[in-house]
A and B are shown apart, each in its own frame.
Chain A
């Protein structure tokens, strides 16, 4: 009976095993196009330019209601502007961990 000597696992491989244990559906090719597309699409934000321009026009004509105790609360007839949008962490259509 042949007992094969177990090859010591490199630290990098050990880390890979750890990662795959946490995220079993992780794809085989991390350097593939999904991963790179995420890099190329940095900065994507979505908003309605029609709403934005209407809000800009409206703000010129009337004062904004004075901010209450919670200045960050955006409600009522305040149309969202790009500046109001929370920083959206760029994400793939599928998460990088979903392979």
Chain B
């Protein structure tokens, strides 16, 4: 399989009917859930390919001798307003608004043109007819409607659509910009953490997101493990945060790796807007927006890696950026790990589970078997030892259907869609 097939982002739309993936080759593939079969009430619709298009192409910045990768970093859907669907997709430098529309009829019976498009000799036209729409095989077309370019010096890591559905933010390592979906020739800079002297650089922006309900509120996370909540009503440039979320560190535990593993790779608000979740290298943390000094819940994703940090630093895995997601009711959170494992944490029962996305248990209707990693000591049957884990098989991107228990899990080259067993 090609490097271009590496999946780099996965996102359900607001109804869950559509699932978009972006890859390293700059392509977007959209899957659509088949209509529920009324007779087979115990199976939800399967997801089939709906549309594929090339969103971004590789570019070369001659002035800086920089290659601009076509890899899609993020996709975010707009809520549906009419028959067409809209999504934003971004690579390192350019955000594009795509319109995906269906065409299932075409006009036939023109007076001046043949059906194949050739023009008729006007002198042969002796009668007039009204062209009519006739059904045709469904065609799904994607067209770029807006291109938001040249606003980021550094690499875009996040885009987030505001709850006003008119504006959105884009964040790179050092700056966050606010855009209007209709306006491509300018954006407002709302966060700038670039120091006057780059030698003084101590942290970068790792992720940013708008609050799901308050259109004036957004958060951004940093490589030092902090999250800042900003209110756009306070000032035009939100360099001063309204809230700073940071868990105090035990100084006796500090090591060379502390800052690297505290770097937040993803931040996601709960659907309710009351909580936010952050993912750092070893854990997932839930924060109450009303409490800045520590998270309210912490879940260990793969604590057994703490005694492997030396080799994970050497092979660069310690810099892997895992994402995380909420289920529709905010009761379960999910994130990926290595060896094609992914983890789910039930916030109510405090139970957690490790599952594997692989071809072996990909047969339809097979119930996934829970996995267990043996950290040390005697390995039980069916357990996998830490040293047997494949660190090239990483699940960085996962998504949860907004309403149902259907999840999308991306391994390096493959997309897995799982749903819970229906009785």
B307/A44 in contact, CB under 8 A: no
Measured CB to CB, the closest approach of chain B to A69, in angstroms, equals: 23
> Cβ of B196 < 8 Å from any Cβ of A?
no
B203/A82 in contact, CB under 8 A: no
B67/A15 in contact, CB under 8 A: no
> Cβ of A40 < 8 Å from any Cβ of B?
yes
> Cβ of A49 < 8 Å from any Cβ of B?
yes
B67/A19 in contact, CB under 8 A: no
Q: How far is the CA of A29 from the CA of B257 in the complex (A)?
A: 10
A10/B68 in contact, CB under 8 A: no
Measured CB to CB, the closest approach of chain B to A32, in angstroms, equals: 7
B65/A46 in contact, CB under 8 A: yes
B256/A26 in contact, CB under 8 A: yes
B257/A16 in contact, CB under 8 A: yes
Measured CB to CB, the closest approach of chain B to A28, in angstroms, equals: 8
Given A45-B66, A45-B67, A47-B65: A37 in contact with B255 (beta carbons within 8 A): no
A10/B223 in contact, CB under 8 A: no
Measured CB to CB, the closest approach of chain A to B344, in angstroms, equals: 25
A15/B255 in contact, CB under 8 A: yes
The 6 closest A-B pairs by CB, nearest first: A31-B259, A11-B307, A15-B309, A18-B310, A15-B310, A16-B256
Q: Within B190-209, which residues are at the interface with A (CB < 8 Å)?
A: 198-204
A-B residue pairs in contact (CB < 8 Å), sample of 16: A10-B253, A15-B255, A15-B257, A15-B307, A16-B310, A19-B313, A22-B314, A31-B203, A31-B259, A31-B260, A32-B202, A36-B202, A36-B204, A39-B204, A40-B155, A44-B65
A12/B257 in contact, CB under 8 A: yes
How many residues of A sit at the interface, in one of the four size bands? 20 to 34
> Cβ of A24 < 8 Å from any Cβ of B?
no
> Cβ of A13 < 8 Å from any Cβ of B?
yes
Give the residue among A18, A22, A39, A44 with the most B Cβ atoms within 10 A: A39
B255 contact from A16, A26, A32, A45, Cβ within 8 A = A16
A49/B256 in contact, CB under 8 A: no
B202/A40 in contact, CB under 8 A: no
What residues on A are CB-neighbors of B202 within 8 Å?
31-33, 36
A-facing mask of B289-306, CB < 8 A → 1, else 0?
A: 000000000000000001
B253/A12 in contact, CB under 8 A: yes
B66/A37 in contact, CB under 8 A: no
Measured CB to CB, the closest approach of chain B to A66, in angstroms, equals: 24
What residues on A are CB-neighbors of B260 within 8 Å?
30-31
What residues on B are CB-neighbors of A39 within 8 Å?
173, 204, 223
Q: How far is the CA of A37 from the CA of B259 in the complex (A)?
A: 16
B69/A13 in contact, CB under 8 A: no
Closest to B199 in A: A33
Give the residue among B199, B224, B313 with the most A Cβ atoms within 10 A: B313
Q: Within A43-86, which residues are at the interface with B (CB < 8 Å)?
A: 43-47, 49, 82
